[in-house]
Structures are given as C-alpha cells and as structure tokens.
Amino acid sequence: MPESKPIDHLIAIPTFVGSLLSFLGSTTALGFQIARPPKRHFRHSLVVNLLVADMIYGLGNTISGAVFLITGRTPSPLSTPDMACRVSGWFSQSNAQAVDFTILIMSIVVLLSVIRKDSITHLETKWQVLICISAWIPGFITGTIGLLYGSYGYVSGNWCWIKANRLGLRYALSHGWRIAIFFVTIFIYTYIYFTLRRMFKNLRSVSSSHGTRPGQEYQAPAPSDSDNDTQKILVNQSVSVRHEMHSIPRTPDSPEHDSSNGFNAVKGPNQSRVVIQGIPSSDDTQFQASRMPAAPNVKKMLLMNGYPLAYIILWIPGISNRLAESVGGAPRWLNALQACTQYIGLFNAVTYGMNEQMRRGVWRKLTDVGGRSV
C-alpha cells in the first residue's frame, strides 16, 4: 500500500493562502454587491454568479488544504481516495468549470451589448436566471462523469482532482474546454477593443468637424432606450475610466456635470445632447479638436469591465503543471506555480465585484451617520 509523505510546505502554503484569499475576497465582494448593488442589469446577475462559484471553489480548497496542513502529510497519488477526496474532486471540477463558463457568458453579454442587441437589454428575468444556471450545467456534467469513471484521486495543488494518469479525461473534461474559452474570450474582447476605439474616434471626428465651441451644445442621435445595457456595462461598472481633459471650474450658468468628465451626455427620447466644456476663450476663437475630450483609455475600460486577463495568466502555470504531471512528472518549481490558480477567485473579486463605485457607496453608508456627508 502506498505510503503518505510529508507535506511540501513550499507548495502547500501558497496554495492554501490563495484558496483562503479567494474565498475571503469572493465573500467580501458579495457583501459589496448586497450593501451597494449597482443599477440592476443582466451583467450584475452574472457577476454574482461568478462570485458564488469562486466562493464555493475557494471554500472547498481551503478546507481540504487546512486538513492536509494540520496532519502534516499528503497521501500518495497511488493511494485509493476516500469519499471525502472524491467529493472534494467533484466540487473542484464542477465549480472551476462554472467559473469558466460564467466568464464566457459574461464576455458574450458584453459583446451583444456593444453591438446593441436589445434582446439582451430587455431579457426577461426568467431567462436571466436560466442563463446563470446554464453556467453550472457543464461543470455538473463533467464533474459527475469524472466521478462515475473513478478518476478522482490525490494530486498536487488542489489535493483531490482527476488523477495524473487520466490525461485524456483531464483534457476532455476540463483543460480542453478551458483552453477553448481562453481563445473565444480573447477573440471577443479584441473585437470589442477595436469597436470601442473606432466608436470614440468617430465621436471626436464628428465633434471637431462641427467646429463646436466651448459651452456649445451638439445634437447627436442616440439609442432610444434610456436603459441601454452598454452604458451600464461600460460606465456604471467602470473603475477608473476618465476623459483626459483639464479640470474646469463650474460656473453658475454651467450645466451640472461630473468634474472628472470632459463632456456630459443628457439623453432625450430620441437624441443625445452632448454639452462640451472647454477652457473659456473669446467668441471668435475656433474650438480646437485638441481640446475635445480624449477617447477614454479603452484598454483600461476592457480590463476593468470584464476582460479576464488575470484569469488567463493565472491558469497557464496550472495547465502546464497538470500536463507535465501526466507525461512524466512535474518539477518542484512548476508544482509551486500551480498555486497561482488558487488566486483566480481573488482577482475575479477585485476585477468584477469590488469596483470603485461600490467602495465609495459602502464607505458613504458607513460614514454618513446622522445626516453627515462624507
């Protein structure tokens, strides 16, 4: 019977810390969603769905990691797994894939919103619920298949998952899907990136061609739907997107606007009124295009509004380690890098759940006691 061996703290401790931080981060982000929820839209439901999956995944790995750290020994990969290991393996597989498919669905929703498909904006609640549930179905199916095939056992990093000698199942049930999702999300957000660049470039060109002066109003067509989901995704959920103009003092006759923005859009039923604020100049001074608000940092917008960059980067060492395990053994340093995958939940929580708007809102609620303003 294979014997257990002393636990490798170089691998076990970073893995446990990552699992714990991901669990705490996801739980905290869910708390922000409850304390200061953004305006209701479909993407908010998907964010909550993602945070729940990350929280369960982090909790399972935190518990199993704590058990092995307390005992100080890890079973041999050749050992027959007990029921707790099988259950842990099933939860790891199911929840990790729920995260994968939720991120995929989020990218598709952002894409449909950018190309202005009203079917997403006006999706009925029952369909939103069904789509959120659908993100869990692939993981439930593949996790159950792995259980029926008796493929779960002791592994490094996750402690219990698909055994190293089942390379085909690892790729058929997990890594193959994950790699495909990597490429699909990269393609989707690359398309969104260039679409948004073109959109903001056209906005600058149209405004400058009309010779707009500071303080003038320019009428531009806008979607008739005042609750367009694109704005909710690209504005309400944005962390630090700003138009790069100098701050302008507000005058009594100036329209109300956010001082951090270079322009203010006031939506009407059929049009959008863009009030462009500039540095005061004489009436005969032509408004220069250089004074137009610069296009927002589109890269930052995508990163903070859904681009799963950390998700992809942090999974690369894990996939490499699992492949090396299956074809002859992974070096110790690669086993240690496997711990990176346990920090995905933390980065998802920061990227998707704890944006600047929510933090300000929660802080305002905590500090605005007895009518005091912050």
Average pLDDT of the residues of the chain: 73
Phi-psi region of 328 (alpha: psi -120 to 50; beta: other; left: phi over 0): left
pLDDT at 299: 59
pLDDT tens profile 235-249 = 333 333 333 333 344
pLDDT at 80: 87
Percent pLDDT > 90 in the chain is 27
pLDDT tens profile 38-82 = 666 677 888 899 999 999 999 999 999 999 899 888 888 888 888
pTM: 0.72
Q: Higher-confidence residue: 121 or 321?
A: 321
pLDDT tens profile 179-236 = 999 999 989 988 888 888 887 777 666 656 655 444 444 444 444 443 444 443 443 3
Name the nearest CA neighbour of 53 among 158, 140, 180, 144: 140
Q: Which phi and psi (to 5°) does residue 163 adopt?
A: -60, 155
Q: b/e for 339-367, b at 16 or more Cβ within 10 A? A: bbbbbbbbbbbbbbbbbebbeebbeeeee
Domain spans, the chain: 5-191+299-367, 213-294
**Residue 11: both structure tokens together:** 């691998």
Note the CATH number of domain 5-191+299-367.
1.20.1070.10
pLDDT at 197: 81
- Averaged pLDDT for residues 3-8: 80
**Which of 162-166, 251-255, 334-338 is predicted least confidently?**
251-255
- Averaged pLDDT for residues 331-342: 88
With residue 265 as reference, give the H or E element that holds it: strand 263-267
pLDDT tens profile 77-109 = 888 888 999 999 999 999 999 999 999 998 888
